[in-house]
A and B are shown apart, each in its own frame.
Chain A
Amino acid sequence: MASLALRGVRKEYGKLVALAGLDLEVGDGEFFVLLGPSGAGKTTTLKCVAGLEAPTRGRVEIGGRDVTDAEPNTRHVAMAFENYALYPQQTVYDNIAFPLRSPRYRVAPETAQVRIERVTETLGIGHLLRRMPRELSGGQRQRVALARVLVRPADVLLLDEPLSHLDAKLRAAMRAELKSLGDLQSTTSLYVTHDYQEALALGDRIAVLRAGELVQVGTREEIWHRPADAFVARSFGQPGINMVPGEVVDTPVGRGFRSRDGAIALPLGAVPVPPGTAVEAGLRPRDLVLGERPGMLAVTGRVYVVEPLGRQLEVTIDVGAQRIALVTPRERVEPDSLVTLSVPPARLILFDGTTGVRIPVGGGAPEAVVAADAVTEVAGRV
């Protein structure tokens, strides 16, 4: 068990910059999630930590020790690869036992057997030990790869999109399972994914990567409610956050937001930008409510599309030139009908129109409410 730190880690492949100077600290026992689109440098980060790629510049520290030039097998790091990398010529049992037979992590065969049985029991693959990897389904292979990582002692666990190629149902089940695995939760872990739900569900902290650069590091609440910029805001939530382009205006009751076509106007309170600044207003679909509510701002629009999402409905509404999505409990909503939707002003997230950076808005939601929301978002999708 150990902390993990990347200090100015830069990786270039020829002219291509995969990582542009990454600074990251993962606490002892923390479950840290790296989120980003493909090509953002997530896997490269893992490989730099594992020692499979040498950083062009910068240092990697595990437990305070500089391991930048250490061989992979001396780093006490376990990794589950995106493509599983099971040894095809060995049975499931031998695959999982492979690290326990290595010169570095060797244990007595009896001890190995006890450990393997325990870990495979937990993962529900105890009946597959005599099979060959080619005889397993994708989900089973993924569990074997995970078992091989969990069976051995490690200071740091590296998990590269372990759930990405499973079907949606299995993925949700495995996500819950991962969360319940004590070993995984108590060991310093770096978890790579492009699925925001996995990030929200599993991560103690989340780092959002884009084009080899860190955009934001924070808890799920910070990332969800105070995204660093529009990119982070768009990376989380399904349906995605509504972005309404407009500008900051002066109103009799203080600063306000007005959409480009004037169809949406919201009060902002204190805003550190002058009137006339081009901005984008971010509205999460789950924060919007159909019908008029006290204390909220009513906006009128015409229903464009209604899609059922299990017990809920995703409704897309044309408001002026804007298309706004919202999620609402099942009720009768007719396409093409005129409806009123309410916007809670505190939930508005404001971004600079050109740079996309978030602009703090006066007021803001209390932390407790905020935390509950992020959890609901995940639960609602499962």
Chain B
Amino acid sequence: MAVQQESQPIAAERTSTPGIAVRPEAAVAAERSGSRWGEMALNGLTILYFLFALFPLVWMLLLSLKPQEQLFTTYFRFSPTLAAYREVLGTGGGGSDFLRFFLNSLIVAVGAVLISLLVGVPAAYAFARWKFLGGESLLFTLLSFRFAPELMVIIPLLVIYRRIGLFDTHLGLIWVYQLITLPLIVWILRSYFQDLTPELEQSALLDGYNRVQAFVKVAVPLIRPGLAAAGLLAFIFAWNSFVFPFALTGSNAQTVTVGSLSFLGGATPRYNLTAAAALIALVPPLLLALSIQRFLVRGLTFGAVKG
């Protein structure tokens, strides 16, 4: 899902920006050889893959609209109902914990990303611009958080969290989410900063700005596309995190990912409720991706230096 959200806005931007539009090489090549068949085959394959990738989502949508007794039918005839959504959201009276979980997810994911940005943007800049003692190994350590399995640290973490009172708190989750969001943001943004010619900030230094001002006024605005991309990815990963909230929260700070699971826990697994919950949980990342599309502009630095 994340991958699709990533590539789609960029592709849209390419075609909508005259002058700097970049055409897919395959399309150009196909046109040059004059082969319309090649183009059609390419389009066919793309559509085929699109259906393949989207099918689980469609299946989930169907599942969420089914009444409980038709859940396991495999043909597409059923009487659609919004009952599952009503029950998940608690609109039929009776109330629901789901909205609270949803809010928890929002708080911890947004909080984690904001803190990571606050720390990660200056860190990425420092890693990109200066060689300092231990810089490389620090960077690698950050990356290692991403490839170390979460399950490996979860038990000790649980013990520590219980002892210092962070178990089942928003702050506790935001803290541990830094393992997910910070490496991502630092690594992505470092390469963006490396692509900026240092002369831009040097010019700002000579224009009467100090180093912090040069960073804030010149460097940061130029990596906005990276900021958007890294922030979005970090949010999606934080939002989708399951293991950390599963182990480190009780009822107070529980997130959507864990909460959705509770519908499967009873005597009869309520797959339609889980599907509805998952689809509702899809909304925030989707909205975020759509709203920051315009920042995912390529080539913001065109014209900075002579080509």
- A residues near B305, Cβ cutoff 8 Å: 83-86
Q: Is the CB of B202 within 8 A of A72?
A: yes
CA–CA, A104 and B209, complex, Å: 7
Nearest-Cβ distance from residue B273 to partner chain A, whole angstroms: 48
Near A by CB (< 8 A), chain B positions 114-145 give none
Contact of A85 among B210, B300, B304 (CB under 8 A): B304
Given A85-B200, A138-B306: A104 and B208 interface contact (C-beta under 8 Å): yes
Nearest-Cβ distance from residue A48 to partner chain B, whole angstroms: 13
Contact with B along A76-91 (1 / 0, CB 8 A): 0111010111111100
Q: Is the CB of A141 within 8 A of B306?
A: yes
A contact face: mostly helix, strand, loop, or mixed: loop
Q: Is the CB of A81 within 8 A of B202?
A: yes
Contact with A along B190-226 (1 / 0, CB 8 A): 0000000101101111111111010000100110000
Interface size on A, residues (CB 8 A): 37
Q: Which of A95-103, A118-126, A188-196 lies at the interface?
A: A95-103
Interface status of A136 (Cβ within 8 A of chain B)? yes
Q: Is the CB of A135 within 8 A of B207?
A: no
Contact of A83 among B211, B300, B306 (CB under 8 A): B306
Q: Is the CB of A85 within 8 A of B207?
A: no
Interface status of B303 (Cβ within 8 A of chain A)? yes
Contact of A89 among B199, B205, B222 (CB under 8 A): B222
- List the B residue with the shortest CB-CB distance to A72: B205
Contact of A77 among B199, B206, B300 (CB under 8 A): B206
Q: Is the CB of A99 within 8 A of B300?
A: no
CA–CA, A148 and B199, complex, Å: 14
Interface status of B302 (Cβ within 8 A of chain A)? yes
Nearest-Cβ distance from residue B132 to partner chain A, whole angstroms: 15
Specify which of B197, B208, B218, B221 lies most central, judged by the most chain A CB atoms within 10 Å of its CB.
B208
Contact with B along A131-169 (1 / 0, CB 8 A): 011111010011000001000100000000000010000
Q: Is the CB of B199 within 8 A of A78?
A: no
Interface status of A170 (Cβ within 8 A of chain B)? no
Nearest-Cβ distance from residue A177 to partner chain B, whole angstroms: 19
Nearest-Cβ distance from residue A85 to partner chain B, whole angstroms: 4
Q: Is the CB of B300 within 8 A of A81?
A: no
Near B by CB (< 8 A), chain A positions 257-274 give none
List residues of chain B with CB under 8 Å of any chain A CB.
197, 199-200, 202-211, 213, 218, 221-222, 300-306
10 A–B contact pairs at CB < 8 A?
A81-B202, A85-B203, A86-B303, A86-B304, A87-B200, A99-B207, A103-B209, A106-B208, A135-B303, A136-B303
List residues of chain A with CB under 8 Å of any chain B CB.
47, 50-52, 71-73, 75, 77-79, 81, 83-89, 98-99, 102-106, 132-136, 138, 141-142, 148, 152, 165
Pairs of residues from A and B, 5 with the lowest C-beta to C-beta distance, nearest first: A134-B303, A102-B208, A104-B208, A133-B303, A99-B207
